[in-house]
Amino acid sequence: MATAFKLPELGEGIKSADVVSVLVKPGDVIKKDQGVIEIESEKASAEVPSPFAGKVAEVRVKEGDKIKPGQVIITIEEGVAAAAAAPKQTAPAKAAESKKQAPAAPEPPKAAPAPAAAAASRKEPVFASPSVRQFAREIGVEVRSVPGSGPAGRISLDDVKNHARGLAAGQPAAPAPATARPATTPLPDFTKFGEVTREPMNAVRRATAAHMARCWAEIPHVTVFDRADITAVEELRKQYKSKAEAAGGKLTLTAILLKVAATALKAFPRINASVDLAKQETVLKRYYHIGCAVDTPRGLVVPVIRDADKKSILQIAVELAQVSEKARAGKLGINDMQGGTFTITNLGGLGTTYFTPIVNAPEVAILGVGRAAMESDYADGFCRPRLMLPLSLSFDHRVVDGADGARFLHWIVDAMEKLLLTAME
C-alpha cells in the first residue's frame, strides 16, 4: 500500500511555494531524508526531504506548480528500499568469485562530464527568482549550470544572458568573481592580528541580513533628496503633544509623516505598488498600510500601521507608540509586520541628515527622515531662521521613473509646509 507524502508546513506566514524542480520519478527507490522536490517561497529556496524510504509510486506535482502545505507531493511504497538493497549485499561475493574464474579486464577511462552537465546533475538548491528560471527555460539554458553573481550566488537575469552568450560562442561562461559572492568567500583568520569575539546572529538579524541582501541585489535603487520647512509643523506639534500623551501616544514627526505619506500615495498610485516580473505586471494597491522601521535590541523590525489613510494623526500617534513598545519588547506577531505598501525610516534621533535607505521589497519605495536643523532662508528680500527637515526617498526604478519619484517627494515637502491644506484633502 502506498503512503502519501504531503508538503509539510514551510514556516510562519508562508502559505504556498513554487515547485522549482522535481528530483524523483515513478519507480525510483529513495532513502529517508532524500530530497524529492525543490521549492521556492517568498523567503527561501530549499529541498523537501522525504520522511519515508521506499519506491516512488506516483509523483503528483510538476515543475512550475504552486503548492500549499498539506498537499500530496508523491506516494511511496514503503519497504521496497530494503528489498532493493538486499542483492547488493551479495555483490562482493559474486565479484570475488568472478575474479577467480577470469582476470578482470581493464576498465576504459571515463570522459569527464562537461561543466554544464556536472552542474545540472547537482541536487543543490538554486538561488534564482521564478522569472529568471522561466527565462532560462525559454532560451534552453539549464539554470543549475549558470554561475550566480549575486549574494550567496543568487542568479540574476544578466547571469543567464551572459552564460547563454558563452554557450553560443562555444566557450564556458566565466565564473562569478569571488568578490561578488561575499556570503561564500572564506574569511581570513582574524586571530592572527589580535583578539576577537564571535557573537552569533539572532533570528531577527539573520532574517534582516537575508532580506536586505535580496532587496539590494534585485532592485535597481534610485534615491532623491529634498528638505521641508517644518517650522509651522513643529509649532503645532508642541502645541498638541500633550493631547496625544493624554491619549497614550506621542505626537512625533514620524506620526505626522505617516499621515502625510498615506495621502501622498493616493495622489501617486504607482508608488503604492509592487512589480510582478513573472507576469510582467505592476500591482497597484488600493489600501494604504505604512511600515515604520523600529530600532530594537534584537535588530531592526518594521511594524505596519494599517489603513493609515483612514486614521487621524492622533490615532496614528497612539498606535505607533503601541506597536513600537511591542517591537522593543519582542512581542510583535507576524501579522504586525505584513502587508505594508510603503515604509518610513527615521534616523533623525541619531543626528543623521541625508542617507540612502534600502527599498523594503515587495514595496517599491521608502522614505528616509533625517534630523531637522535651523537654517537661514532668504525669501522676499528677508533672511529668516527656518527649521528644515532632510528627506531621502529611495525607489525601485523598474516601476517608478525618476521624475515621478521627485514629484512624490516634492508633494510630501509641500504638504509638510502646508499641513492644514493636506488635512483638508
pLDDT tens digits, residue range 45-97? 567 888 888 899 999 999 888 888 889 999 998 776 544 444 444 444 444 44
Task: State residue 88's pLDDT score.
Answer: 44
Q: Catalytic annotation on 211?
A: no
Mean pLDDT value of segment 14-24: 81
Task: Pick the catalytic residue from 163, 211, 289, 397.
Answer: 397
**What architecture is the 2-78 domain classified under in CATH?**
Beta Barrel (2.40)
Mean pLDDT value of segment 365-380: 92
**What architecture is the 204-424 domain classified under in CATH?**
2-Layer Sandwich (3.30)
Phi, psi of 271 (to 5 degrees): -80, -25
| Strands 45-49 and 294-296, sheet pairing | unpaired
Residue 109: pLDDT over 70: no
Least confident of 140-144, 240-244, 293-297, 347-351: 140-144
Please provide the average confidence, as pLDDT, over all residues in the chain. 81
Task: Tell me the H-state helices in 11-170.
Answer: 80-101, 115-121, 130-138, 157-168
Dihedral, CA of residue 210, residue 214, residue 217 and residue 221, to nearest 10: -110
Residue 155 is classified by DSSP as B
Least confident of 125-129, 189-193, 241-245: 125-129
Give percent above pLDDT 90 in the chain: 44
Q: Which amino acid is at 39?
A: I
Task: State residue 329's pLDDT score.
Answer: 85
For residues 411 and 309, what is the distance between their CA atoms, to the nearest angstrom? 16
Residue range(s) occupied by CATH 3.30.559.10 in the chain: 204-424
Residue range(s) occupied by CATH 2.40.50.100 in the chain: 2-78
Residue range(s) occupied by CATH 4.10.320.10 in the chain: 126-180
Point out which residues pair with 384 in neighbouring strands: 377
- Give the three-state DSSP class for 141: coil
Point out which residues pair with 304 in neighbouring strands: 291
> Residue 125 — very low, low, confident or very high, per pLDDT cuts 50/70/90?
low
Beta strands in 177-315 (DSSP E): 221-229, 273-276, 281-284, 290-292, 294-296, 299-301, 304-305
Listing DSSP states for 295-360 in one string gives EETTEEE--EETTGGGS-HHHHHHHHHHHHHHHHTT---GGGGS--SEEEEE-GGGT--S--PPP-
Task: List, for residues 174-208, the tens digit of each pLDDT value.
Answer: 444 433 444 457 888 999 999 999 988 876 777 78
Residue 101: pLDDT over 60: no
126-180 CATH, one of 3.30.565.10, 3.40.190.10, 4.10.320.10, 1.10.260.40: 4.10.320.10
Task: State residue 179's pLDDT score.
Answer: 38
- Please tell me which of 38-42, 64-68, 180-184, 304-308 the model is most confident about, judged by mean pLDDT: 304-308
Between 99 and 264, where is the model more confident?
264
For residues 125 and 68, what is the distance between their CA atoms, to the nearest angstrom? 19
